[in-house]
Amino acid sequence: MSESTTDNGKTIGMVAYLTFIGWIIAFVMHSNNKTEFGAFHIRQGLGLLILYILVWVLNIILAIAEIPLLPWILLIGVIVLWVLAFVGAVQGEKKLIPGLGAQFQDWFKGLG
């Protein structure tokens, strides 16, 4: 694999974690130049986006139920997972997100 292909895969990996718009940009970039590294992080990024949306909806329900601390704990947990995934992409590593990473790879194997 050439250095430019590796760099492009790393760029795709990093951009995949930068919000929903970043994920779309990474997906489009990946469709033009497919790499296993880029595909890995696109799947992990999509999984994190879906997890964030689920936690966000759950936080609204918990706020209505007046449970104040749990929403913050859940949100901090998702942020920690996001940081771990982003750092892995920056370092050029394919690290699974703890707990759900293998499922994300399996569920979204059609991407990439």
Give the pLDDT score at 71. 84
Residue 6 clears pLDDT 60, i.e. is over it: no
Give the pLDDT score at 8. 66
Arithmetic mean of pLDDT, 16-40: 91
**What letter would DSSP give residue 33?**
S
CA neighbor of 112 nearest in space, from 19, 45, 17, 22? 45
More confident residue, 72 or 42: 42
Q: Specify the pTM.
A: 0.85
Cα separation of 52 and 97, whole Å?
A: 13
Give the pLDDT score at 72. 85
Strands (E), 10-86: none
Residue 3 clears pLDDT 60, i.e. is over it: no
- Predicted confidence (pLDDT) per residue in 74-106, tens digit: 899 999 999 999 999 999 999 999 999 999 999
Under the banding of pLDDT at 50, 70 and 90, the label for residue 40 is very high
Residue 1 clears pLDDT 70, i.e. is over it: no
